[in-house]
Every structure is written in structure tokens, then in C-alpha cells.
Amino acid sequence: MDAGCPRLPDTVLFEIFLYLDHADVLSVGLVCQQWRAVARDEFLWKELFYRYYRVSRDVPRHPGAVSWYDEFQRLYDTIPCVEVQALKEHNDQVLHLSFSHSGCLFASCSKDCTVKIWSNELDISLQHSSNMRPYNWSYTQFSQFNSDDSLLLVSGVFVGPHNSSSGEIAVISMENFTLLSRVRNKPYDVFGCWLNETNLISGNLHRIGRITSCSVLWLNNAFQGIESENVNVVKRLFKIQNLNASTIRTVMVADCSRYDSPDLLLDYEEQLAASSTCPVFDLGSDSEEEEAKPKPPPEPAVQELLDAGGVPAEHGLQQLFDDIMEGRVGPAMTETELETKVAELFVRNRTKPPEPNLLPTDSNSKTKYLIFTTGCLTYSPHQIGIKRILPHQMTTAGPVLGEERRSDEFFDSLDHVIDIHGHIIGMGLSPDHRYLYVNSRAWPRDCVISDPMQPPPIAEEIDLHVFDLKTMKEVKRALRAHRAYTPNEECFFIFLDVSRDFVASGAEDRHGYIWDRHYNICLAKLQHDNVVNSVAFSPVEQELLLTASDDTTIKVWRSPRAVRVRQARRPRPRKLLFSWLMNQKS
């Protein structure tokens, strides 16, 4: 037993430990042999863990944990909550951050209309800055590295004729930072994303009526300068009708081939089973009873009409026109309601049905899903649409307008729709692409939307939902802690990011937040002087996190353990002084 370390009853030690600071607990553990004995007592550490972190006792220990002591230490020592650097090279609001897959570089976008490339070394430094104002951009808003980190997609707001604004995507080479191509992107908050190493997805919007439109998603070759009659630089992927002033926004791609080897299973029963066997599911289903049916259901709006009467679309549209001409439609139907009714009837007879058997049956499948925000009731995004991308659609080869369509396949249907019942303000995929995390601000529980141009009020609390993309079910309860204050018409995107064990998000309350994915608990608040717009974990080192804010700074956060390691690597002043003295003597 160490000198000066009194022997105390375990119960007394336990009560003391409950009120000790993390650092005190660990420092005691370094010097006290009695503590080392207690550290091996799983019962004491289990009790301490549940009480200190206020975790529900029905939540099992992390599947990768060796002991409760190690798990307690992990949640203290590996959270990137220590600010180690503040980058102030931007001179306006910083909107987005993205790491390269290697973790060696990251990019930042800002209202100052630049995209900056940073080198992630011992101390982060600016490597390159591209100003997009010469291309009539108003600001840069989003960036993403392709899979081999050779190209950078940069999305921004483009100012066109008569000060109209839409979006534009630029592709920058990481070899010499030259601009390779530019692609129009409408609306600008589609953002855009990579499908593979050389092809990216953009959007376009065509107005059909006052509140009805058609979103077209395009596949673009990053190298637009190809001169060959056999190679297209663009190809149409999907054409989807929008009702009630909604549009497709925020596109991203999920790789289904990684589902069967997730980094972390969030379903506790599935963790315990550890068999990773999951039945083939139907993307169109929303319940266990529906999963047993082989027939995929149509989209929600279409299903509602079918349930109402089951009349064929062309007959229903003709019947509506007859009712209008003969005065059988009551005066209560407004112009907006009439437009929506006609659009719903039209889409029933002009939409291609969903693809059958959507889940890939082997782990080597190259199937991918296009994920985006959408809606059916109002202009604010309140649904998540999911559409399978077939192998032949992953290249720009073939007809520019895609495969030939029949007259009754004018629009593409969605394969699955997730209703959020609130304004979606952020989405992010887990590294294994198994789970989708969604930031949203909830609508009142029993609200009724009568005017699509007047969505319901939204809550100040931000809910962070988690969806399993293999089962299309929400898992766990929504995470809460962060807040937002802007109303519907001013609401903006709050980017989140997910690492192997943690999920982080910005917020309008001047903080970034970190949660543990397994225990569903908030672990840290990271302070800024203004709104935190974006967060980004290093993909190779989850103990490194970046946050970007309206205060024009990018803050670099590392875990206490990483800080100690970095300090140990730096030369100590004593050695430098000794070298100086030796030089003076010589």
C-alpha cells in the first residue's frame, strides 16, 4: 500500500468517488494502490457509471468495452472537448466544414465567398484559398471530397440575371487547385454530392404551377471538358413531382454494401444477439405487417387518393373537371387546393412505380441510395425521400435523358418516405452508412396545415432523430440539448457529423454539442461567440473535432488524452535550456 493512502471501506470510497471530479478520480488512480484494487471492482464502477452519467440502467455496456472502469475513462478521456486552436483566416460567417477521407486535409466554406483548404498536421495551417466572386457567386456553402481525395466539390449561391439567385457547383482539383468544371444547381440548397470518384449529383427545378413543380436530379461528369461523341458529361437520373410548394433539397448518397458490417449497432437486442442476420425488407413498408406483403405501396399522397375511392387516375381527373363545370365542387375549394388536387390526380397516372426487391441480397452489392429532404404538405422540408440508384444509372453513359419512358412514367416515384413532422435542418450519415441522423424542429403535435405557404410554428428545441437505413425504422429516442431560434421562413441548415462512437451538431445557442451514440447522452458543450453552423470529426481520429461559427472562426478541439500525447511529443524547455548552456560552454 502506498504511503499516505489510507485504507477506507469500499462503501466510503464509492461515495467519495461519486463527487470527485474526473481529473481527481484519474489522478488518485495513478498514485493509490487501493484505488487500483477498487478499479477492478466492476460492481462499484458500474454503479458509478450509471449514477454519474445518468444513463438508464436498461442500457447495456458498450459492446466494445472491456470493463466499466475503461468505459468510464473513455467517456472522460476521449471526448474532443479541449480547445487547442482557433483559425481566424475567414472574414465572414463560416458555414461548413468537411474532411478528406485520409484526414490529412479539410475544407471550409464561408459567407466571404472563399473555400479554404487546410493541412491537418501537428498544428493546422492554411494551404490554399479560392475566391469564387469572379464567377458571380454570393457565398460558398458546402464542400465534399471525392472518394480518393483527388477532387473537391464546392457548392455555392450563384447570382444570375436581375439578381436572381440559384446554386452552382464547382469541382476543384486537389493536385494543383485548378477549377475543372462548374454545374448549375437549383435550388441552391440541393447542395450536391458525389456518387462516385468522377460523377456528382446536382438538381434543377421546373415550375408547373404556383405551388406545383418538378425536381430533376442530374448526374454530372466532373471533367466537363471531355470531347467525345460517345461520352456524355450529364445524364438525367430522376424526375420527381413536388406538391404544395415543396422541393427536393440536401441530397446525399448512402452505400448499402456496408450495412452488414456496421461500426456500432444501436439496437441493444441486436447487439446481444450479435448474429447480424436481418430479413430482407421492403423499402416501401412502414410496419411489420406491411413487410410481410410483397407488393410495395405507392407514395403517401397517392395512397391517400387510392384509399379515398380507388378510382383510376384518368377517370378521377375527368370526374373532377366535370364536377367543376357542373358546379358540384363547393366554394370552399381555393385555387391552391384545386391546383394540389389536380396535381395529385395527374401524378397517379404519370408516375413510374417503385422498383421491386430493393434490398441488395449480397454484401458485395454496389447498390446505393439517394437520400434527400422533401415534403408533401408545405414548402418547409418535413420528409426524407429515399430512391435506389441502379448500377446502370451510376455512369453518364447512355441517353442524356436516361432510359426511355412510357407516357405513364413521366415522373419517378420515391421508394420510401420518412415523415419527420417538423422542419428538417440537418442530416448526416454514420461512417458505415447504416444510420441516418436528422436534426429537426418539431411542429405542434396536432397541427393542421391548411395553407402550404404558411407552415406551422416550429419548436426552439432541436430533436436529433436516428434512423436505421437497413430497416427504415427510427431507433432510440431523439437526442436533445441544442436549440435554435429562427422562424420557419428564416430557418437555415445546421450541419451535423457522426463518428464511430459520437455524434456532434452545431446550434443557434452559440454552442456545439457532442453525444455518445451508444448511451444517448450529451457529453460536451463547445462554446463559440455566435451560431455554430457546422461540425466535423476527423475520419481517422474521432478525438479531433472542428466547429465553424458565425463568429468567423473555426475552432479545433481535441480530447484530454490527445492533448497529453501531443504535449509529450513537444520538446521540453529544460532540454532546450541544457542545449543552450552546452553551446555557451563550447
User: Per-residue pLDDT tens for 13-51?
Assistant: 554 454 444 445 555 444 455 555 666 678 888 888 888
Cell of 552: 468567423
User: Per-residue pLDDT tens for 527-559?
Assistant: 999 999 999 999 999 999 999 999 999 999 999
Q: Could you tell me where the DSSP H helices lie in 418-569?
A: 560-569
Q: Is the pLDDT of residue 121 over 90?
A: no
Who wins on pLDDT, 191 or 570? 191
What is the pLDDT averaged over residues 248-266?
83
**Among the three residues 35, 63, 78, which one is the final residue of a domain in this structure?**
78
The enclosing H or E element of 157 equals strand 151-159
Whether residues 476 and 374 share a domain: the answer is yes
CA dihedral defined by 18, 24, 29, 32, rounded to 10 degrees?
Answer: -100
Whether residues 430 and 533 share a domain: the answer is yes
**Among the three residues 78, 96, 115, which one is the final residue of a domain in this structure?**
78
Domain residue limits at 534? 82-260+365-568
> Do the Cβ atoms of 256 and 368 come closer than 8 Å?
yes
Phi/psi of residue 78, each to 5°? -115, 10
Q: Alpha carbon 271 to chain centroid distance? A: 24
**Which residues touch 542 (CB under 8 Å, ≥6 apart)?**
78, 80, 499, 500, 501, 502
Whether residues 48 and 101 share a domain: the answer is no
**Would you place residue 339 in the very low, low, confident or very high pLDDT band (cuts 50, 70, 90)?**
low
**Which residues touch 137 (CB under 8 Å, ≥6 apart)?**
113, 156, 157, 158, 159, 168
Please give the pLDDT value at position 34.
Answer: 57
- Provide the mean pLDDT of the chain: 80
- 336 lies in some domain: no
- 96 lies in some domain: yes
What is the pLDDT averaged over residues 343-361?
64
User: Per-residue pLDDT tens for 131-174?
Assistant: 999 999 999 999 999 999 999 999 999 887 766 678 999 999 99
**Among the three residues 78, 95, 113, which one is the final residue of a domain in this structure?**
78
Q: Could you tell me where the DSSP H helices lie in 59-218?
A: 68-77
User: Per-residue pLDDT tens for 174-216?
Assistant: 999 999 999 999 999 999 999 999 999 999 999 988 899 999 9
Whether residues 138 and 250 share a domain: the answer is yes
Who wins on pLDDT, 146 or 315? 146
Q: Is the pLDDT of residue 264 over 80?
A: no
What is the pLDDT averaged over residues 442-455?
92
**Nearest CA among 452, 389, 455 for reference residue 424:** 455
- 314 lies in some domain: no
Helix, strand and coil content of the chain, in percent to the nearest 5, comes to 25, 35, 45
- 185 lies in some domain: yes
The pTM score is: 0.82
Q: What is the CATH number of the domain that holds 145?
A: 2.130.10.10
Q: What is the CATH number of the domain that holds 62?
A: 1.20.1280
Whether residues 23 and 113 share a domain: the answer is no
User: Per-residue pLDDT tens for 63-113?
Assistant: 889 888 889 889 989 999 999 999 999 999 999 999 999 999 999 999 999
**Would you place residue 526 in the very low, low, confident or very high pLDDT band (cuts 50, 70, 90)?**
very high
**Would you place residue 402 in the very low, low, confident or very high pLDDT band (cuts 50, 70, 90)?**
low
| Bridge partners, residue 240, by sequence | 215
- CA distances to 21, 169, 175 from 151, rounded to whole Å, are 46, 12, 8
**Would you place residue 329 in the very low, low, confident or very high pLDDT band (cuts 50, 70, 90)?**
low
**Would you place residue 492 in the very low, low, confident or very high pLDDT band (cuts 50, 70, 90)?**
confident
**Would you place residue 319 in the very low, low, confident or very high pLDDT band (cuts 50, 70, 90)?**
low
Whether residues 392 and 541 share a domain: the answer is yes
> Do the Cβ atoms of 226 and 235 come closer than 8 Å?
no
Whether residues 249 and 383 share a domain: the answer is yes
> Do the Cβ atoms of 193 and 153 come closer than 8 Å?
yes
| Bridge partners, residue 441, by sequence | 423
**Which residues touch 232 (CB under 8 Å, ≥6 apart)?**
221, 396, 397, 398, 400
The residue with cell 476521449 is: 78
Could you give the number of structural domains in the chain? 2
